[in-house]
Amino acid sequence: MSKTKKSRIQFNIERCKGCGLCVLYCPKGLLRMSEELNSQGNSYVEIIDPAACNACGICFRMCPDIVIEISEQAGESDGEENASDGQSARK
């Protein structure tokens, strides 16, 4: 049974200045800039496929404005939906 990391990634889009560094450095190409603007008039970061994010933290480290928050959740790669040992995963 291999352990995997699941992530919950969140963005404080009002802080985003649209520099695009996170988009450039995501190794999985999961990030993009929005077509809409935040209240500061900036395009802001969006994630294309949250389920594919492995919480590597690169985007978090690249962002100069603390827009990105990542919480890592350890989980079994094959046991999330059929945990039979009484240790069901929290959502």
Residues that bind ligand SF4 (CB under 6 A): 9, 16-22, 26, 28, 30-31, 45, 47, 53-59, 62-63, 65, 67-68, 70
What's the closest the beta carbon of residue 44 comes to ligand SF4, in angstroms? Answer: 6
Max Cα separation, the chain? 50
Q: Which is nearer to ligand SF4, 57 or 75 (CB)?
A: 57
Q: Which is nearer to ligand SF4, 17 or 79 (by Cβ)? A: 17
| Minimum CB–partner distance for residue 55 and ligand SF4 (Å) | 5
